[in-house]
Amino acid sequence: MQRNNMRSVVVHGVRPRKLMRELQFSNKLVSGEVNFSSTPWAKLRAAQQLLDSNSTYFIDALTKHHAYSQLVPSTSIFYVDSSYQGSDSGSNANTNLCSVDSDILRWCLKSPCIPVVSAMAQSSDGRVVHLEPFDAVASLVRSLQPRKVILLNQAGALINMTTGQKVSEVNSPGDNAALLGQPWCEGRLKEKLQRILDMLESLPENGSVTLTSPMTILRELFTHHGDGTIFQKRDRVIIHDNLDSVDTKRLRQLLCRSFNSELDADYFDKLKPKLSKMYLSESYNFAAIVTNEKGAEGVPYLDKFAVVEKNQGQGSSQALWDLLRRDFPMLFWRSYSGNRFNEWYYPRCCGLQSVSKWKVFWYGFTEYRLSQKIVQVAERLEESFTEKRPHVNEKQDLSRPSTWSAKPDGKGPKPTPGTDPEIVYQALEAI
């Protein structure tokens, strides 16, 4: 992460009950219950020494792998009210009692060093207090507003206790009610998930929270599908069969913004009689429009596929694509031959053909006669934008053959190595 200029802060801590067990195991504390808001000095000092020991372990490990880090005194960062009660309860009230002075962390983040912070705080009445780790992270998140928060646990993901399967993603707010209403989601797990969702709400629009393990963190960070559970903000997608409930003014703004061009004034009048389905996010940040075109022999046409810039890299395009694949066994679309976003289409189609200034893509069939039919239809369709797109390259795309086909399941060639379409695209064109 450091080599890739991904600035990060490491926050570590131990829940009070687990801290009790570790202190007992290390013979630093005799058995007995501890209220960490009023812990005698000797016991609290033992807890602080244990966390400091963990801090030096992290720093030594990072240094061994040529990552420079720095121990930052947590009592110079975290401050709590005198009424703070460190606990395992998951009470959101604890988080609200913890404040952060992030100046020293921001200074560290300007340097090559990774700040390492333990979950200890200074109280308003001058005491040193052990923080519940989630309280420390949540408070830091509110102050620093990072793009990504990674929570590590041994399971490496959220597990569906009924099926034993990993929950790969949670899209908030659409999935929240269903997730928290699951029969296996109760007690401390439910409280923890609610706190993660609350943390997600405090992040920027493109922020996310990931639950993974130390052993899989690299796959989570540097692969498209990751290896844990990602909690992300994503609008609920509403499917429309007509334009009656669609705000066409907002949809026009979405399309113009995504394609950097002006949409024809009569576009929606022409769309009405041939609309098959429209997939539109609640906040009008991404959309897919499918039509029925004359002469296409029943194969639906993907007329528009658009995602605004702030939703790029969040999986919105793949989510839309998954809905299209679910509802349409066959589909075809076209894109300018010089469109650099064609790289995103290649692995998702089972065939393509270059014709005039277009590349025509399709999936779901391999019949030659039908492919030629839909190519003819795509070629004669009118353009719906009046201005030339600034991100289109007029030169022919020579990186692919002019015609090829693959299996009807859409498993085409792989994209060019090093291209991450979820990050580099600005708008997916299906004009």
Long-range contacts of 79-84 (CB under 8 A, 24+ apart): 79/121, 79/122, 79/123, 79/124, 80/121, 80/122, 80/123, 80/124, 80/129, 80/131, 81/123, 81/124, 82/123, 82/124, 82/125, 82/127, 84/37, 84/121, 84/123, 84/129
| List of E strands, 158-285 | 158-159, 166-167, 169-173, 208-212, 229-234, 237-240, 275-281
Which pLDDT value is given to residue 397?
A: 41
Which pLDDT value is given to residue 31?
A: 44
Q: Give the residue carrying structure tokens 């030629």.
A: 372
Which pLDDT value is given to residue 235?
A: 78
The structure tokens listed for 220 are 């989570």
In the chain, the largest separation of any two C-alpha atoms, in whole Å, equals: 83
Residues listed for the chain = 431
The structure tokens listed for 207 are 């922020």
Which pLDDT value is given to residue 97?
A: 62
- Continuous segment of H or E residues that includes residue 24: helix 16-25
Q: Give the residue carrying structure tokens 């779901």.
A: 364
363, burial (CB in 10 Å: exposed 0-12, middle 13-18, buried 19+):
buried
> Which of 235, 230, 179 is closest to 200 using CA atoms?
230
Question: In the chain, what is the straight-line distance between the N-terminal and C-terminal CA atoms, in Å?
Answer: 38
Which pLDDT value is given to residue 427?
A: 29
pTM: 0.63
3-state secondary structure of 352: strand
The whole-number mean pLDDT for each consecutive block of 10 residues of the chain, a chain of 431 residues, reads 82 74 55 46 71 88 88 88 59 59 87 88 84 88 91 88 89 86 92 93 87 85 76 87 95 91 93 96 92 96 87 73 94 89 90 92 94 95 75 42 49 37 26 28
Residue 427 vs residues 73, 142, 280, 312: alpha-carbon distances, Å: 45, 31, 15, 9
